[in-house]
Amino acid sequence: MEIQSNFSLKNYNTFGIEAKARQFVAVHTVAELKTILEENKDEQKFILGGGSNMLLTKDIDALVVHIDLKGKTILKEDDDFVWVESQAGETWHDFVLWTIDNNFGGLENMSLIPGNVGTTPVQNIGAYGTEIKDTFVSCEAINIATQEMKTFTNTDCKFGYRESVFKNEVKDQYIITSVIYKLTKRNHKINISYGDITAELAKNNITAPTLKDVSNAVIAIRQSKLPDPKELGNSGSFFKNPILLKSDFEKIHQKFPEMKYYEVSETEVKVPAGWLIEQAGFKGKRFGDAGIHKNQALVLVNYGNATGQEILAVSKDVQKTVFDTFGIQIEAEVNVI
């Protein structure tokens, strides 16, 4: 393991932001990770996974530890289910495709989400009616201060909408090293409740979709709306969809009857942040090399040489305008560093 100094992180964040790490090291095993943590106890540390859910607004004055643990294992299975463990450094989309190739169901609606497996429980990532919490069994994590391993169960993680214990009570205390998912082997619960998926399947004359069909539909939809980070720097959805109390939403809806929404409970409604941003006039707007994608208003992009500060300024402008227009506060889903 070589610790490098003044290391460029441009290729380690999907926004493609040029920022430097004071020191940088990649770890490939849990043993290497324990050694680095133990030997650098007094160093400020910054843990880096796939770099897909962050906006770097400055250089990182710390030891950046890149989690590059690889491997997939079938732990056990019965006639109906299989328990699969993936190391944290596996690319999420590659892992999803592997499960589909093995006819393991449960992750297909989350195809093409950027990032690595280890960060999926942190955000409780989700798409098209599914979330990590639906298939998550547990994860192994290492305590940064003591190097002790701990197992977090589904309940321990306190999953919410793009929330978990790792963003709250134990934030910056643990590094996830592997994750276990319970997936179906038969009687798959095919979820095509979202109109986009239904329309994509119909376009291809598919009436009895397989796991692969659903995955392909999701990939086609995402590729039509979302830019490839390798071609145009971005971090996927920059903002969360706001969840409002029905009583508050009804007052707003009277003023904006065309506003789209989805019921999430008897008392709450989710409003698509992309719709709010588009109605506020930001879709496709460009401010120098920072901007909002032309096909999806939820996605902020780096057209080449934007700084993190410039993209952050655009995001704050979007938030202020949406609030001034609709009285709705939208929160960043991306971690601003």
User: How many angstroms separate the CA atoms of 288 and 310, rounded?
Assistant: 9
User: How many angstroms separate the CA atoms of 56 and 303, rounded?
Assistant: 15
User: How many angstroms separate the CA atoms of 52 and 13, rounded?
Assistant: 6
85, 90, 310, 333: which is the annotated catalytic residue?
Answer: 333
Question: Over the Cα atoms of the chain, what is R_g?
Answer: 20
Contact 47, 33 (CB under 8 A): no
288: left (phi over 0), alpha (psi -120 to 50) or beta: left
Active site residue 186: no
Residues 6+ apart with CB under 8 A from 208: none
Active site residue 266: no
3-state secondary structure of 161: coil
Active site residue 85: no
User: How many angstroms separate the CA atoms of 28 and 35, rounded?
Assistant: 12
200, 237, 310, 315: which is the annotated catalytic residue?
Answer: 237
Contact 12, 66 (CB under 8 A): yes
162, 164, 222, 235: which is the annotated catalytic residue?
Answer: 162
How would you class 143 by CB atoms within 10 Å of its CB: exposed for 0-12, middle for 13-18, buried for 19 or more? middle
CB atoms within 10 A of CB 229: 19
**Two tokens at 117?**
């497996």
Report, as residue numbers or ranges, the catalytic residues: 162, 237, 333
